[in-house]
């Protein structure tokens, strides 16, 4: 899509599709006829979606937008996200694991954040806090922070994603203090008993203040992602929770929309159901086109005219 995107099209974030996860021949054929491509590396989800819609990407304050999406209220102070991660020591480097798939519960994060707050923040110009399963850092003055969430560098060495220049040393010092504070915390002993990786650091990213609320035309959003929700809230645009399937998104709108199937709903059966519902919406002319963003990096742009590409039966990108 372009900045003048088709308002009767939809942008949909879906579970992974390649690796043989999609077996239905008709759906594979449908996707093979589309404009298929694969991006290199992981990207922050909001950046992918706004690029498709031609909307502005925030210059700062991603963490504040995420909190806005969680609470429904615009934060008024400088905030960074402080999300739990596992730094795995390897022979020649550290490897960061985002812990999204292993899961970190509110019951686990609460005592960790409380311990960090009590150990490090007493009398200093910042505070650690928890909201659900998300951690946050509030400071009196802006500080350096990483630009992207931990899932963007999941399985990689974190060095190239750390802030550089002014404030970088302060950032590294704070991270080191956090790691020492939670090194042998009871939460990690309990996680070890369940064969789960420890939470041995925080990834501090997305620092800044929330943007001022504005009124900007955006398609309706169906998502449980608080950062997406906060971005839509900041534009005074319609944002609703994920309703369980695409049919419900279509029923709730009169034109196009943005939908995000939750990352936890990593189910090939749900993927197939969503694709069938989307194919039907295009075939019936309820939607004029689609951009499908699969979580394994595949992108499909679909238009009705592609039905004429009858010679395309399959694609190696789906393998």
One domain for residues 49 and 89: no
Domain boundary among 208, 230, 250: 208
What is the rounded distance in angstroms from the CA atom of residue 150 to the CA atom of residue 140? 24
One domain for residues 202 and 81: yes
Residue 155 included in any domain: yes
One domain for residues 83 and 129: yes
One domain for residues 308 and 189: no
Residue 134 included in any domain: yes
One domain for residues 100 and 53: no
One domain for residues 239 and 181: no
One domain for residues 119 and 162: yes
Residue 194 included in any domain: yes
Task: Write the CA distances from 281 to 16, 23, 54, 284, 313, integer angstroms.
Answer: 21, 21, 23, 5, 21
pLDDT (0 to 100) of residue 40: 86
Range(s) of the domain holding residue 104: 75-208
Domain boundary among 177, 208, 239: 208
pLDDT (0 to 100) of residue 2: 43
Domain boundary among 183, 208, 233: 208
Residue 68 included in any domain: no
Reported as a single tens digit per residue, the pLDDT across 208-264 is 999 999 999 999 999 999 999 999 999 999 999 999 999 999 999 999 999 999 998
Percent of the chain having pLDDT more than 70? 93
Across the range 199-203, mean pLDDT stands at 96
One domain for residues 203 and 250: no
pLDDT (0 to 100) of residue 307: 55
pLDDT (0 to 100) of residue 134: 94
Reported as a single tens digit per residue, the pLDDT across 51-103 is 999 999 999 999 999 999 999 999 999 999 999 999 999 988 899 999 876 67
Question: Is the predicted pLDDT of residue 314 greater than 60, yes or no?
Answer: no
Residue 64 included in any domain: no
Across the range 286-296, mean pLDDT stands at 96
Give the number of domains in the chain: 2
Question: Is the predicted pLDDT of residue 152 greater than 70, yes or no?
Answer: yes
Residue 72 or residue 22, greater confidence: 72
Residue 67 included in any domain: no
Residue 63 included in any domain: no
One domain for residues 97 and 192: yes
One domain for residues 219 and 139: no
Residue 66 included in any domain: no
One domain for residues 84 and 197: yes
Half-sphere exposure of 41 (CA within 13 A, CB side): 7
Tokens of 96: 């960061």
Tokens of 264: 């936890």
One domain for residues 143 and 178: yes
């Amino acid at each position: 899509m372009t900045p003048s995107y088709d308002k009767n099209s939809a942008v949909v974030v879906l579970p992974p599709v390649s690796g043989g996860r999609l077996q239905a021949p008709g759906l594979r054929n449908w996707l093979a006829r589309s404009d298929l491509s694969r991006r290199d590396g992981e990207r922050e989800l909001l950046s992918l979606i706004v690029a498709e819609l031609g909307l502005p990407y925030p210059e700062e304050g991603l963490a504040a937008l995420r909190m806005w999406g969680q609470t429904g209220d615009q934060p008024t102070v400088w905030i960074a996200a402080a999300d739990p991660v596992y730094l795995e020591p390897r022979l020649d480097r550290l490897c960061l694991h985002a812990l999204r798939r292993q899961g970190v519960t509110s019951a686990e994060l609460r005592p960790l954040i409380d311990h960090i707050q009590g150990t490090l923040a007493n009398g200093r110009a910042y505070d650690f806090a928890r909201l659900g399963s998300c951690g946050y850092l509030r400071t009196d003055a802006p500080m350096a922070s990483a630009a992207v969430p931990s899932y963007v560098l999941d399985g990689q060495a974190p060095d190239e994603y750390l802030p550089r220049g002014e404030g970088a040393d302060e950032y590294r010092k704070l991270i080191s203090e956090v790691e020492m504070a939670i090194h042998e915390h009871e939460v990690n002993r309990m996680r070890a008993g369940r064969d789960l990786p420890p939470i041995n650091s925080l990834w501090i990213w997305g620092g800044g203040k929330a943007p001022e609320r504005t009124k900007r035309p955006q398609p309706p959003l169906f998502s449980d992602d608080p950062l997406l929700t906060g971005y839509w809230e900041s534009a005074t645009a319609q944002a609703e929770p994920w309703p369980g399937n695409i049919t419900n998104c279509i029923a709730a709108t009169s034109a196009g929309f943005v939908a995000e199937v939750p990352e936890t709903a990593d189910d090939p059966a749900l993927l197939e159901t969503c694709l069938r519902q989307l194919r039907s919406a295009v075939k019936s002319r309820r939607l004029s086109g689609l951009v499908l963003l699969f979580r394994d990096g595949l992108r499909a742009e679909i238009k009705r005219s592609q039905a004429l590409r009858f010679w395309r039966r399959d694609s190696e990108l789906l393998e």
